Structure 1
Amino acid sequence: MQPENLLYYSEADDSKIMVSDFGLSQIENSESNMATACGTPGYVAPEVLCVQDGKSGYGKEVDCWAIGVIAYIL
Structure 2
Amino acid sequence: MKPNSSFTKITSALALALVATTSNAANWSSTSFVAHKGDSYELGPEERTVYTFEHVSGWDYGKNFFS
TM-score, length-scaled by structure 2: 0.22
Which structure features the higher share of strand residues? Answer: 2
- Which has the higher Rg, Structure 1 or Structure 2? 2
Which structure features the higher share of helix residues? Answer: 1
